[in-house]
Amino acid sequence: MSLAGVKCLVTGAGGFLGQTIVCQLLGENLAEVRALDKAFSSETLQRFADLKSTTLLTIMKGDIRDTSFLRKAVHGISLVIHSACIIDFLGEVEKRVLWDINVAGTQLLLEMSLLHDVKYFIYTSSLEVTGPNRKGDPIYDGDEDSIYQVTNGFPYAETKREAEKAVLELDGLPLKDGSSFVTCALRSMYLYGEGSSFLLKHVDEAILNNKVFSRMSQKEALVNPVYVGNAAWAHVQAAKAMRNPEKGKQIRGRFYYIADDTPHFSYADFNHELAKELGFGVEPKLAMPLTMLYCYALLLEIVSFLLRPFVRYVPSFNRHLLTLLNTPFTFSFKKAQRDFGYKPRYSWEEAKQRTGRWIAEVTLERAASLKSRKV
């Protein structure tokens, strides 16, 4: 099933994944793509313009919590891809703000979608909806049927879990035209690729450390990252499947893990794998035993709590982040492959080359900037 003639709204369209989704949709002969975000960089807008698509691209700048703005955004739309959210692993964002945008914003978008008879709704979820839990229980090659003890965790994970639940629970609601609302959620693995702010942060730190990546994850803590182009392509393929009467029945109201053929690495070793041909190294072991790192993280959290009445201090790492980085957590994408025909668009070699070229481009620029700042 194609998307020809469809009008689609993409939220978070100025973000890392969102803009990649928009770019891929512009090659699918849609009638219109509405790109919604609070702000767009000049680089993102230029990236859209360079595609020279025949599809109408409408840039919509506004807040997902604005009812009148969302009403205008969904009017006449049949497909919503909701990738907008605030990502926070360190506790830098107030919990109230996280819930306001990630949960209340999603609920408002759902309300406006149902009010205006939007037929299809895809939610960009997160692996953190699953875990790791506080105990750091591992998963090796898990799938959608894996039983895992989820514990109340960091606020970001809680907001993504609650928003995903809201999306999936509304599947099947009747619409005015006699059809029913169709929803699904895609839980992507750790995203990498050109333009990743997380990867850029690690590159910056490595440059200041004589081009050596710091190690915060043990070698055996394997995860399976996914290239941003493949995660975006999964959204496009899910959208096509939703419009297919047979495949649509299979995926509605369900969540799917989205990975690709990227080899399994620890986070630190993965950064090194992407940049080693550019002369980057990686620390051979953790700076101190993992137990001591947890104790140190706890101490920093206590200091942050004690200082809260006077100043907002956010430690550079915490116990939650250490658990994320040091828990083996890998998943299969076979169910997505089986139910809606997901197949990675880019091979591991191509994804690695694309990401490596981008790292090479930014390294010279960032190195000069960071060194001058350091002086």
Please enumerate in sequence order all residues whose Cβ is within 8 A of that of 248, keeping only pairs 6 or more positions apart, or say none.
Answer: 182, 241, 242
163 vs 106: CA distance, rounded Å: 6
Ranked by mean pLDDT, which of 75-79, 153-157, 201-205, 284-288 comes out on top?
A: 75-79
pLDDT classification of 367: cutoffs 50, 70, 90 = low
The proportion of the chain whose per-residue pLDDT surpasses 70, expressed as a percent, equals 97
136 vs 134: CA distance, rounded Å: 5
Catalytic residue among 7, 119, 160, 352: 160
231-271: pLDDT as tens digits: 999 999 999 999 988 777 889 999 999 999 999 999 999 99
Mean pLDDT for the stretch of residues 198-210: 90
Judge whether residue 369 has pLDDT over 80. no
Q: Return the closest-CA partner of residue 183 out of 259, 244, 121, 258.
A: 121
160 catalytic per annotation: yes
Contact 48, 72 (CB under 8 A): no
Instruction: Provide the pLDDT for residue 366.
Output: 67
DSSP-derived secondary structure letter, 63: -
78 vs 2: CA distance, rounded Å: 14
> Could you tell me the two tokens for 25?
């949709």
Domains observed in the chain: 7-195+225-262+329-346 (3.40.50.720)
Instruction: Provide the pLDDT for residue 91.
Output: 81
